[in-house]
Structure 1
Amino acid sequence: MYTLLSGLYKYLFQKDEYFVLILGLDNAGKTTYLEQTKTKFNRSYQGMNLSKITSTVGLNIGKIDLGKVRLNFWDLGGQEELQSLWDKYYAESHAVIYIVDSSDTERLEESKTAFDKMITNSSLCGVPLMLLANKQDLDGCVKVSDMKAIFSPSQELIGHRDLHVSGVSALKGDGVNEGIHWLVESIKKNSIQRPPTLKDIT
């Protein structure tokens, strides 16, 4: 009887809670992407003015609920001196969103170097990965097909984890919904390897 009631309580009053890292160089659009995500998936959320977002120094957080799943986002600063802090969050994370500024062609190699260093960390072994070419709304940006070619040498480092590569415009919100829904399904599929924590619904 206790087992039955415990299962009913979990179904009615608890969510599976997961933690998602949002990484990338400074000015890639990570915070804008997080703000768009919170706005699209939280009806009551009053987002900040996207045109006034500045580079993150430290950490921005956010959360969204999709059915019985709660995603907690950690948006970390991307300046070179802050990248050394990224690995402090790897062991607790269930997925990574890596955002590239596709309009800044001069920093693509720098972004790929940071990406390669990140995915070789053993604490992220097997976690789903979403690689986003942001700012696809700008003229002269690197298209998704070219972005795939630039990052294709990293495939061996990426390994057999779930990977989703797509173009987005964080400023306009294009591509945000599709990516988040893919992320949820991939995290759930990987939950045997990285189980969720349980959170009482509030």
Structure 2
Amino acid sequence: MYTLLHGLYKHVTQKDEFFVLILGLDNAGKTTFLESAKTRFVKNYKGVNLSKITTTVGLNIGKIDTNGVRLNFWDLGGQEELQALWDKYYQECHAVIYVVDTGDRERIGESKESFIKMIKNENTRGVPLLVAANKQDLEECMGVREVKPLFESNVDHVGTREVMVLATSGLTGEGVVEGIDWVAQCVVRNMHARPPHDKEKS
């Protein structure tokens, strides 16, 4: 009887696990976005001073439980030499959050190029995609209407996957909760194509 109850308890308390990549150029605000999300979703998470986060060299990780699933985040460095490592993670991921620095018009073309390389990769086919038009707290930033055409122009490679372009600010938290909730719903809807990893106890 104990074994049966224990098994039932484990089944109820375990969540489907999904892996989400956070990509974008260096200084786009990827880590700030992730830290902002953790402060809003993870109970008693102290976090770091968002205004003092420096450029990621390598990998930051995070874990958030929402909508009955567990999202594991891989925040990868965006420097040109580190982008070569992105494709090592594509096969295992269930969604991509691509962060765009809307305050840096000079590098928007470079950001688009990195984005196109990512969606052209066979291992990202069909994976839900959130384009975070980040740093909306800056006065001279580009709005969603300006960013959206740039990152939705490759229709052939975007395919039938779910895509959303969302105004965000890692510093103020604008759009962060909405974006994470959207990703959580998408990975569940896409389970037939990319099943979750083995359940982990909550």
Considering the TM-score relative to the shorter chain, is it more than 0.5? yes
Mapped to 1, the partners of 2:13 and 2:169 lie a distance apart of 35
Residue 14 of structure 1 deviates from its aligned partner by 1.3
Q: Which residue of 1 aligns with 2:81?
A: 81
Give the aligned partner of residue 26 of structure 2.
Answer: 26
Instruction: Provide Cα deviations, 1:107-154, integer angstroms capped at 9, x if missing partner.
Output: 000000000000110011101000011011111111100101222322
Identity of aligned residues (%): 60
Q: What corresponds to 1:109 in structure 2?
A: 109
Counterpart in 1 of 2:61? 61
After TM superposition, give the deviation of residue 83 of structure 1 in Å: 0.1
Which residue of 2 is the match for residue 168 of structure 1? 168
Return the TM-score normalized by structure 1: 0.94
How many residue pairs were aligned? 200
CA distance in 2, matches of 1:156, 1:60: 31
Shift of residue 5, structure 1, vs aligned partner: 6.6
Corresponding position of 2:52: 52
CA distance in 2, matches of 1:126, 1:6: 37
The residue that corresponds to 1:139 in the other structure is 139
C-alpha distance in structure 2 between counterparts of 1:131 and 1:18, whole Å: 18
**1:200 and 2:192 are equivalent in the alignment:** no
Does structure 1 retain, via aligned residues, the 8 Å contact 2:67–2:181? no
Residue type at the aligned position of 2:29: G
Is contact 1:128-1:161 (8 Å) kept?
yes
Secondary structure of 2:72 counterpart: strand
CA distance in 2, matches of 1:121, 1:18: 20
Provide structure 2 residue ranges, at least 5 long, that are not aligned to the other structure. none
RMSD: 1.7
* 1:7, distance to aligned residue in structure 2 (A): 7.5
One-letter amino acid of the structure 2 residue matched with residue 116 of structure 1: I
